[in-house]
Amino acid sequence: MTSRPLAHALADAEQKLTAAGVWAPRSDAEVLAAHVLGVGELDPAAELDTAAAAELDRLVARRADRVPLAYVTGWAELGGVRVSVGPGVFVPRPHTEPLLAWGLERLRGVSDPVVVDLCTGSGALALAIAHARPDARVHAVELSSVALDFALRNAKQQSDAGDTAIWLVQGDVTDPALFRDLHGTVDLVVANPPFVPNDMEMPPEWTEHHPPIAMYAGADGMVVIRHVVLLASRLLRPGGHVAIEHGDPQVHAVAELLRDTFTDITNHPDHHGDPRFTTAHRRV
Ligand SMILES: C[S@@+](CC[C@H](N)C(=O)[O-])C[C@H]1O[C@@H](n2cnc3c(N)ncnc32)[C@H](O)[C@@H]1O
């Protein structure tokens, strides 16, 4: 059996991914190689046997077709929780980590908190909160049945591994009756809803591979966020907290919507320093 030095395979993969316009070619090549080898960290002196080299070539070719990295590997992570993802479900992004951290900070000192994750997708935010706060009762809602199936599988995997179970429902955040039994009782609402304006240009990872329902939200990107704000104001107890992810174009519109029923409205940057989520407290 012949083998190939990892360093050569990585250089080759990086070159192919660069030519395809992938924005982090070296890092993606390393993630794919680690995935093929089944290791958390690559040994620079490693060798790939024939089967592993062929598998890496296959995965690199998929990524070069601009299939999202997480669809190629089948997983993504948020808050230290690994969730399964694939076609039909949004890939949780590192951009959401600061929102998660903010939410968990607000729950400090609140025992048995009630949390709602609106537009949960793979369930990543809800599951990361349940992982960090085993005493929390976490509810989550998702409209797409494909995404909900991923969320249900991810939730089962986490509860089988010992995390507190979360409560998942299929539903629409525009439905005024959604979570009616929770009105006025919730400590924290988190949401990463669709917020891309319909005519915004996006890389092929999104335009060709992500489900449109997970991304697009009308001409201004606000169609779903408007309902998220309304629902959060019904769900939260006085003084309860909300955190909503959005894009650069929605910074002012989100703050404006929150003004009626919320106070301490603050915009926060993501890990790149771009405005990424807005937080507020329900007026007492
Ligand atoms: C940007 S993705 C975020 C998913 C997840 N929160 C995350 O951060 O990975 C938005 C999600 O909202 C869901 N969605 C879109 N419209 C919805 C609605 N009206 N009610 C509930 N969920 C909705 C989409 O199917 C998608 O899963």
DSSP-assigned states of every residue in 211-267: -GGGTB-STTS-HHHHHHHHHHHHHEEEEEEEEEE--GGGHHHHHHHHTTTEEEEEE
* pLDDT band (50, 70, 90) for residue 2: confident
Contact assessment for residue 70 and residue 91, using Cβ atoms and an 8 Å cutoff: yes
- Res 111: pLDDT: 97
The residue to mutate among 71, 90, 99, 166, having the most atoms of ligand 1 within 8 angstroms of its beta carbon, is 90
163-194 confidence digits (pLDDT tens): 999 999 999 999 999 999 999 999 999 999 99
Residue type, 104: L
Is a pLDDT exceeding 80 seen at residue 66?
Answer: yes
Predicted confidence at residue 123, as pLDDT, reads 98
Reported as a single tens digit per residue, the pLDDT across 9-32 is 999 999 999 999 999 999 999 999
The pLDDT score that the predictor gives to residue 174 is 97
Report the 10 Å Cβ neighbour count for 88: 17
pLDDT 10s digits, 113-145:
999 999 999 999 999 999 999 999 999 999 999
Q: What is the pLDDT of residue 272?
A: 86
Residue owning tokens 């999202």: 68
Entry pTM: 0.95
Binding-site residues, ligand 1, Cβ < 6 A:
90, 92, 96, 119-122, 124-125, 141-144, 147, 172-174, 192-194, 213-214, 224
pLDDT mean across residues, the chain:
96
Per-residue confidence (pLDDT) for residue 1, from 0 to 100: 56
Q: What is the pLDDT of residue 270?
A: 86
Q: Which of 55, 31, 49 is nearest to 41 (CA)?
A: 31
The reported pLDDT for the residue numbered 196 is: 96
